[in-house]
């Protein structure tokens, strides 16, 4: 087996091929981050042998086009988190940092950890579309928040009484925006007043676009995975995160691997007579956030979930430990929903609560 480590950049990609058993360096190639460069990379791999595994540094948008080109050509592609290559780089005798050194570290990380330890890249364009729309909506919300903060500072100077009356998180409502616009229109047409009105117009436009994206995500997630949307606490935003950030649950062969990716798999922290587990702070924090929101919502709305949490507290677990057990259960449940939706069409399943027998007991 040949392992090719890839250090990705916007303009070029550096490839280093090593032996899958001895980790001995075999060849180095730099290709352009274009379609022609992708073909050059495939020719490079074809000259090395039949059994080739690609370890691509997972750098979101920078690695996306190259990864899609490899998958379209039927290549076996693994996503290697950049944080995992640090240990491989420390073990090298060659000091310093360069693109070939980084690519070599990626390849040796795959050999050291084993091919089965990494998530397999999977080409799922509908899921990627949902992810792109969700990310764009989050960016628009962040931009609107910055603009609202600037508007409130202007209002402190222009009309402090009006600013004091505005409750927090209300400047995204049409009625409040209309009221503020009416008040600003009565003030003298100073430069600051004109800027405040301009920001008010932009906030209204951003709010309209954000609401439109939410409606689109609602339709797309319900169409792609109705069983996921039928779950208690899984709205269009959390469903978009789960679908988009997973981008093909087939790449996780077990629910344990998905739980580790989502940061919900507990990490052993035992010593001597002390047997305990600690929180996993790694993994995809967007997936972790979605599962956390669902867990909190279920704890508030679902009586069986509340009973499950009480049972865990009665076993001696703290509230945070009980919540981590709940999130691990949810990772198993939602992995099954994501996996079945991507393998064979199935009708929407009824919501399964934490207290149901379908979920294994948590001993951690």
Q: pLDDT for 285-331, tens place per residue?
A: 899 999 999 999 999 998 989 999 999 999 988 898 899 899 999 99
Pick left, alpha or beta for residue 12 (phi over 0 → left; psi -120 to 50 → alpha; otherwise beta).
beta
Q: Is 357 contained in some domain?
A: no
Instruction: Calculate the alpha carbon distances from 204 to 145, 177, 199, 227 in Å.
Output: 12, 7, 9, 34
Burial code (b: 16+ CB inside 10 Å, e: under 16) for 253-286 equals eebebbbbbbbbbbeeeeeeeeeebeebeebbeb
Tokens of 89: 């780089």
Query: Domain containing 44 — which CATH number?
Result: 3.30.420.10
Q: Which of 171, 189, 224 is the last residue of a domain?
A: 224
Residue 304's domain comprises 226-343
Q: Is 363 contained in some domain?
A: no
Q: Which of 224, 254, 278 is the last residue of a domain?
A: 224
Q: Is 349 contained in some domain?
A: no
Nearest-angstrom CA–CA distance, 143 and 145: 5
* Average of per-residue pLDDT across 266-294: 85
Global pTM value = 0.77
How many domains does the chain fold into?
Answer: 3
> Each residue of 24-46: pLDDT tens digit?
999 999 999 999 999 999 999 99
* In contact, 219 and 126? CB cutoff 8 Å: no
Q: Is residue 351 over pLDDT 80? A: no
Q: Is 355 contained in some domain?
A: no
111 and 11 part of one domain: yes
- Where does 31-185 have alpha helices with state H? 35-46, 61-72, 85-90, 99-113, 125-158, 160-165, 174-185
Q: Is residue 59 over pLDDT 90? A: no
10 and 107 part of one domain: yes
Dihedral through CA 168, CA 240, CA 358, CA 330, nearest 10? -50
Q: Is residue 339 over pLDDT 90? A: no
H or E segment and range at residue 4: strand 2-8
In the sheet with 52-57, reading across from the earlier edge strand, the strands are: 25-32, 12-19, 2-8, 52-57, 76-80
Q: Is 130 contained in some domain?
A: yes
Q: Is 356 contained in some domain?
A: no
Q: Is 262 contained in some domain?
A: yes
The mean pLDDT of the chain is 86
């Amino acid at each position: 087996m040949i392992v090719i480590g890839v250090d990705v950049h916007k303009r070029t990609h550096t490839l280093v091929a090593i032996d899958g058993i001895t980790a001995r360096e075999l060849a180095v190639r730099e290709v352009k981050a274009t379609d022609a460069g992708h073909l050059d990379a495939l020719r490079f791999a074809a000259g090395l042998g039949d059994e080739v595994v690609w370890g691509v540094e997972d750098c979101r948008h920078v690695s996306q086009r190259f990864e899609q080109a490899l998958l379209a050509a039927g290549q076996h592609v693994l996503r290697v988190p950049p944080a995992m290559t640090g240990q491989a780089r420390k073990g090298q005798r060659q000091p310093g940092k360069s693109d070939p050194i980084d690519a070599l570290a990626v390849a040796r990380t795959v050999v050291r950890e084993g091919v089965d330890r990494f998530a397999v890249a999977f080409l799922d364009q509908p899921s990627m579309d949902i992810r792109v729309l969700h990310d764009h909506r989050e960016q628009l919300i962040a931009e609107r928040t910055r603009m609202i903060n600037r508007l409130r500072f202007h209002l402190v100077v222009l009309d402090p009484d009006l600013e004091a009356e505005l409750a927090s998180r209300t400047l995204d409502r049409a009625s409040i925006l209309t009221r503020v616009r009416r008040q600003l229109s009565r003030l003298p047409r100073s430069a600051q007043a004109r800027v405040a009105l301009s920001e008010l117009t932009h906030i209204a436009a951003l709010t309209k676009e954000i609401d439109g994206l939410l409606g689109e995500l609602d339709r797309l997630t319900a169409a792609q995975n109705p069983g996921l949307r039928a779950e208690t606490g899984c709205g269009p935003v959390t469903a978009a995160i789960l679908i988009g950030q997973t981008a093909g649950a087939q790449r996780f062969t077990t629910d344990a691997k998905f739980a580790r990716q989502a940061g919900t798999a507990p990490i052993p922290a035992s010593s001597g007579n002390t047997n305990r587990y600690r929180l996993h702070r790694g993994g995809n924090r967007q997936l972790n956030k979605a599962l956390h929101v669902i867990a909190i919502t279920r704890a508030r709305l679902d009586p069986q979930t509340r009973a499950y949490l009480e049972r865990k507290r009665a076993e001696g677990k703290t509230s945070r430990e009980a919540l981590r057990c709940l999130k691990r259960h949810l990772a198993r449940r939602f992995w099954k929903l994501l996996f079945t939706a991507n393998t064979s069409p199935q009708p929407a399943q009824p919501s399964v609560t934490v207290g149901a027998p379908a979920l294994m007991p948590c001993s951690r």
